[in-house]
Structure 1
Amino acid sequence: MKKESIETAKQNFDGKQVLISIIALILLGAFGTSLATKNQMLGIFLVTGIIFGYILTRARFGFAGGVKQPYMTGNSALVKGLLVTFAVTIIATAGVHWGTMVLDGASVAEVAVKGGAHPAPGSNAVKPLNLAVIIGGFVFGIGMIMAGGCASGTLADLGEGAVRSAIALFFFALGAVIGRWARYTFDKSSLADFSTTIYLPEVFGYLGAILLSVFFLVILYVIVKKYESMRKKDGSYQEIEYSPEQRPVEETDDFGLFNYETYHKFFVERWDYITGGLLIAVMFIFVMNTTGTDWGITGAYTYWGVAILQKLGMNFANSPIYSGIAETVNNGLLNHAGTLRNLGIIFGSALALLLGSKFKLKYNFRFYDAAMYAIGGLFMGFGARFAKGCNIGALYAAISSFSLHGWAFLIALSLGGITGLMYFEGKLNIIPNRNLSNN
C-alpha cells in the first residue's frame, strides 16, 4: 500500500475536529454514566454501540458491501473479511452454546429455544425458515442497494455525515412498522405452516455444525475468488485504494508517544477488513455474553416508526401488534436498549471521523436519488421485519448461532442485492456504471 508523507498528512489534519470529538466523548461519558445509574445495561448498550460504530467506520466495514463491492469492482477483499468474521464468531458461539448445555445439564434442543428452560446466549437468533425469510431477504437486498447501505451501514453512514442515510433511515423506520404487520398477518395464515426450524448442532452435533458451517464459508470463498479471477482476466478488476489521509504515513526517525506519527497510527490510519472483521466478532461475542441475546439492529426501528406515526396522530395503544411497542415509546425511547445501541453506532462512526479530522457532510444528490433512498429505506424496513431480521440479525447472528434460516436469508439477500445493482447501475448516483471493457 502507498504511504502518505507525514508533512502532507499534517497539512490535511484539522485540530478543531479532534477538539469536537473530545468534547463529544466527555458528553457521551456523562450520558452513559447517567444511564448506568438507572440501569447498568442501558450504559452497556450505549457503549457497545459506540464501539461497533467506531469499528465499522474505521475499517470501512459493511455487510451490504459484501454484495456491492465484488459487483462493482470484482474485488473480494471485504468478502474475505466478512468470511473471517463469520468463521471466528461461529467457533466462539459454538463454545458458548456447548458450555451452556454442559453446565446446565441441558439437551442440545433446549439450548436453542429462546425462553426455554436452558436457553444459550444468542438462542433468539434461531428462527424458522419459511417463505417470509426468502421474500423479506430479497426485498431487503434490493432496498440496501437503493439506500446505499444495510441496517448497520445506514447508521454508520449517518454518523459519517451522509445526508442520504437520514432519508433512508426515516423511511426504514416506517417500513419496519409495515413489515411487522405483514409478518403478523403471515404468521396467522396457512403459509406459515410451510416452515421448519433447524438448529444445526441438533442434527450434526457441535463439531459437525462447525465443520459444515465452515465448509459453506469455504464454498463462498471459492466462488468469490473465481469471480475475482474472471474480472481480472476481462480487465474490469479494480484494486481498493485507500484515500491519501487514510494511508499509513512514512516512518521517520522522530517517532515518539506524543507526536503526530503515533496519533495517525492509532486514530487516523484505516484498518484493513480482516482487522475490522475480527473486532466485530469480538464485540459480537461480548454482546451475546453480557446481554444473553445476539446483536440486532432493526428491532429498534419498529419502535422509531411507531414513535413517528404517533406524532402524526396514529394510536397504537390498543393494537395487538404494536401495543407493547407503543408503551415503550411512551415511556421514552432513551430507556430502550436497542435504541441506545443504534444511537451509539451513529456516535461511534462520527467519532471515528472526527478523531481522524475527516468528518464532512455529504449531500450531493438529485431529487430522483433522494426518492430512491426513501423507497430503499421502505424496502429494507419491510424486508427486515417480514424476515424477522436484517443482515445482522437474520444473517450474521443466525448463521453464527447455527440457524439454517440464516443461510437461506443470505441467498435471498444476495439475489436481491444483485438484482438491485443490475437495475440501478448508472441510474442512481451511488451506483455508477462499471467499466467492463477490456484493457
Structure 2
Amino acid sequence: MILTGLVLGAVLGIVMQRGRFCVTGMLRDIFLQRSWRTFTALLVVISVHAVGLTALTSLGVISPDYPSFMPLAVVVGGFMFGVGIILAGGCASGTWYRSGEGLVGSWIALAMYALSASAMKTGVLKGFTSGMKEWDTGLTTIPGALGVSPWLFVIALAAVTGVMVRHFRSREKSTVKPARLGNRPAWKRPLHVYTAGALVGLIGVVAWPLSAATGRNDGLGITTPTANLLNFLVTGADKKLDWGVMLVLGILVGSFIAAKSTGEFRVRVPDATTTVRSIAGGLLMGVGAALAGGCTVGNGMVQTSLFTFQGWIALLFIALGVAAATKIWLKATVTQPERGSDGDTYSTAQSLDHTVDATAPDDTSIDAAPTAGAPRTPGTNVFSGFAAAPTALMVKDPAGAPSQKLTDLGNGYYALDSLGAVCPFPLIEAKDVMQTLHSGDHLVIDFDCTQATEAIPQWAATDGHEVTDFVEKGDASWQITLQKG
C-alpha cells in the first residue's frame, strides 16, 4: 500500500515541475514584485484542500489529529524556515522537485534539510525541540475555538480566493499576453500557476485517505518524511520507510521525468557562495520546520486547510522570514570597476557578495553557453548568481550609460549572461540593467533557470517590453530578447 505514495508523489512532482510551482516564489513576489498574483495560487491550493478535507472529515472518511498551538516554536520556527528557503532557493517541496531538474544546489540544500530535521526530531537536538515546545496554549483549530462550523471558514476562503483569481485572470486578459517558447507541442508547455494550484490541492485531498490506509494519519508532508528517509538510510529501520517517504521520493522521480521529457533537465553545479548558502538554507529549513510543526506543505497547505492556529500563524511568520531575507539578499549585482577613477565608489560592504572582472571580453558571443559546472573563462561577462567577494571596490555606473554588466553587441543590442544564476536572479538582473537602456534598445538574456521561462516573459508583458525572440539553446538553456518599451 505504501507504493501509492510513490505514485501520487510522482504525479505531484510532475505537476509542480510543469507548473513551476514554488511557494517560496509566491511569498517572495509579494515583497520583491509587490504582486499577489502567484500567492493567489497558494490560496487555490488551500481552498481546494479545505473543501476536500472538510468533506472527508464530515463524512467520517478521515479523522485528522489537530496539532496544539505552541507559540514560541511556531513563531521562531516559521521565521527561520522563511529565511532558509530564500537562502536555499526553494521551499521543502520546491527543493525536492528542483533536485529532479538537476540543480546540484538543491541536492545540497536537501541533504542539509534532511540532516537538521532528523537531528531536531530524533537526534541530538531533540531536547532543544522539546524545550521550545513547552509553551503550549492547547488551542487547535480556529473554528473550534470560536465554536462555529469549519464550513463557514471554507466558504469564506473559497469566496476570497475566487475573487482574487477572477481579478488576476481579468488583468491577464486585458494586458499583453506573455511570450511563450515557439514550436513547442502543447504537452511541453508549462501549466498555468492556478491550474497547477488546483491540481496540487486535489492531490492533497486524495493523499490523506491513501496515507491513512497505511496507518499514517496525515496527508501531504515533506519534513518528517525527509527526516525519516535519512534515518532509514542510516539505521536501516524499516518502520521509517512509510507512505510519506514514498511520497517525497515520488516527487523527485516525477520531477525528473517531467524535466527530462521536456528538455528542462541538466546538471547545474553552483558556485562556491551559492553552495554555502544552500548549506545554510537547508539547515535553517530543517530546524525551522521541525520547530513550527511543518513546512510550506505541512503548515502552508495542509494545516491551513484544516484552519489550525499552527498552520496560519506559521505561514504568516514564514512570510515574514521571506520578507527579511529578500530585503537582505535578493539584490542585483553591482557593476564592473572603473580603474583609475577615484569618485563615487561602493564600499567594501556594498561590494561583498559580488565579483566581476575589470577586463571586458574581446569576442563574447551570446550563443556560447558553457557546460553546466564548467569553470568560466576569466574576462567573460557573466552573472553567476551569488558570486565570491571582489578584489577591488566597485564604481557606480555613469548616469545614462548602459550597465557595465552588459556586452554591447552593436546596433542597440546588449547581452546579459545569466547562465548559472539561480532564480530569481535572472529577473532581478534583467530589471536592473533594463533601467540603463533607452527605449527601443534590445536586451538579449541567456539563462538556465527553469522558473525564469515564466518570470521574465511575465515581467516583460507587465512592464511593456516586447519579446522579439525566445528560443531554447539546449537542455535547460534559453535565450530571450526584449525590446525596451
Structure 2, unmatched stretches of 5+, are 213-217, 332-352, 354-385, 387-420, 436-462, 464-484
* Aligned AA (1:356): T
8 Å contact from structure 1 (residues 137, 416) kept in 2? yes
**1:284 counterpart residue number:** 204
TM-score (norm 2): 0.61
**1:339 counterpart residue number:** 245
1:53 aligns with 2:13: yes
Aligned ranges for residues 43-122 of structure 1 at < 5 Å? Answer: 43-100=3-60, 121=62
Aligned ranges for residues 173-252 of structure 1 at < 5 Å? Answer: 173-180=114-121, 184-185=126-127, 188-189=130-131, 192-202=134-144, 203-211=147-155, 213-214=157-158, 241=178, 244=181
Identity between Structure 1 and Structure 2 (%): 23
Distance 1:165 1:403 in 2: 30
Distance 2:113 2:71 in 1: 23
* Aligned AA (1:280): V
CA-CA distance at 1:201 after TM superposition: 3.6
Distance 2:77 2:189 in 1: 37
CA-CA distance at 1:380 after TM superposition: 0.2
8 Å contact from structure 1 (residues 122, 294) kept in 2? no
**1:172 counterpart residue number:** 113
Distance 1:69 1:239 in 2: 20
**1:303 counterpart residue number:** 228
User: Among residues 147, 155, 160, which one is paired with 2:96 in the alignment?
Assistant: 155
CA pair 330-371 structure 1, distance change in 2 beyond 3 A? same
* Aligned AA (1:174): L
CA pair 354-188 structure 1, distance change in 2 beyond 3 A? closer
Give the 3-state SS of the residue equivalent to 2:38 in structure 1.
Answer: helix
**1:392 counterpart residue number:** 297
8 Å contact from structure 2 (residues 73, 132) kept in 1? no
Structure 1, unmatched stretches of 5+, are 1-40, 101-119, 230-237, 250-260, 311-325
CA-CA distance at 1:209 after TM superposition: 2.9
CA pair 44-128 structure 1, distance change in 2 beyond 3 A? same
- Structure of greater Rg: 2
Distance 2:179 2:66 in 1: 35
CA-CA distance at 1:395 after TM superposition: 1.9
**1:361 counterpart residue number:** 267
CA-CA distance at 1:43 after TM superposition: 1.5
Distance 1:192 1:240 in 2: 52
TM-align CA RMSD: 3.1
CA-CA distance at 1:190 after TM superposition: 8.6
CA pair 358-369 structure 1, distance change in 2 beyond 3 A? closer
Runs of 4+ aligned structure 1 residues displaced above 6 Å come to: 436-439
Larger helix proportion of the pair: 1
* Aligned AA (1:386): L
CA-CA distance at 1:368 after TM superposition: 1.2
CA-CA distance at 1:394 after TM superposition: 1.6
Distance 2:321 2:296 in 1: 12
Distance 1:190 1:148 in 2: 27
**1:123 counterpart residue number:** 64
CA pair 127-49 structure 1, distance change in 2 beyond 3 A? farther
**1:351 counterpart residue number:** 257
Distance 2:125 2:139 in 1: 17
CA-CA distance at 1:64 after TM superposition: 1.4
TM-score (norm 1): 0.67
* Aligned AA (2:10): I
8 Å contact from structure 2 (residues 70, 134) kept in 1? no
**1:275 counterpart residue number:** 195
1:138 aligns with 2:79: yes
Distance 2:115 2:130 in 1: 22
* Aligned AA (2:36): S
* Greater length-normalized contact order (CA 8 Å, ≥ 6 residues apart): 1
